[in-house]
Amino acid sequence: MTLVNTLYVWAIGADRVATITWTAGAVCTEALARASIVELMALTGGARLPVLADIRKWKSMTRDARTFYGNATDTFSALALLVSSPATRMTANFFIGLNRPNVPTQMFDDEAEALRWLRRYAVA
């Protein structure tokens, strides 16, 4: 099952891991963050799935979006942030260190490794 808008794509795999892939150059604002969570809830029917956030290509994230995601942790069971550049790594570190989400959250630069970690939190 997938849901597409111009800035991100949601996909839920057979392993019950939800993946949000941000498109190249996207700036994650609070409005987009809210919309993405509403869509996740619609896709999962309210179930809390582990989420892989692929932010490798996005441009940046506003502070309000960071705050919103940090408080939206009752909508997912774990969060893996997939990074590549020093800038995305910096953003992920900031999010984990400052916003302190209260679900397991880790930064990865290897997608397969991230998925392996997330599957531990997938509901059958």
Partner 1 sequence: MIRAAADRFDVIERMITSLAQGDLFLETPVFNDDPELEAIVLGLQMLAEELIASRAQLDRRAHELERSNAELDVLSRGFIRLSELSNLLLSCNTSAEAFTVVADSAREMYGGLSGGVYLTGPSRDLVDAVATWGDLAVVASFPPEDCWALRRGHSHLARPSGPEPFCEHARPDGPRTSLCIPMLAQGEAIGVLHLVGRPDVAARVLTTSAQRLAVAAAEECALALANVRLREKLAVQSVRDPLTGLYNRRFAEESITREIARAQREGKPLAFVILDLDGFKSFNDEYGHDGGDIALRAASTLFVESIRTSDMASRLGGDEFLLLLPGSSVEAAIAKCDVIRARLRLQEVHHRGRVLPSITLSGGAAGFPDHGSNAEALLRAADAALYEAKRAGRDRVTAAAPTGPPSRDIEFSEKAPE
Tell me if 56 sits within 8 A of 85, measured CB to CB.
yes
Query: Smaller CB distance to partner 1: residue 4 or 98?
Result: 98
The token pair that represents 32 in the structure block: 């987009």
Measured from the CB atom, the residue of 31 and 87 that comes closer to partner 1 is 87
- For partner 1, the binding residue among 31, 38, 42, 90 (CB under 8 A) is 90
Least distance in Å: CB of 29 to partner 1?
13
List the one residue from 4, 42, 98, 123 that touches partner 1 (CB under 8 A): 98
| Residue of 16, 34, 56, 89 interacting with partner 1 (CB under 8 A) | 89
| Cβ atoms 22, 57 nearer than 8 A | yes
Q: Given the complex with partner 1, which of 95 and 117 has the nearer CB atom?
A: 95
Q: Where are the beta strands (DSSP E) in 1-124?
A: 2-4, 8-12, 18-22, 27-28, 49-54, 60-61, 76-82, 105-108
Is 12 in contact with 1 (CB distance < 8 Å)?
Answer: yes
Amino acid, single-letter form, for residue 53: A
Nearest distance from residue 2's CB to partner 1, in Å?
30
Report the interface residues with partner 1, using CB under 8 A: 60, 63, 85-87, 89-91, 94, 98
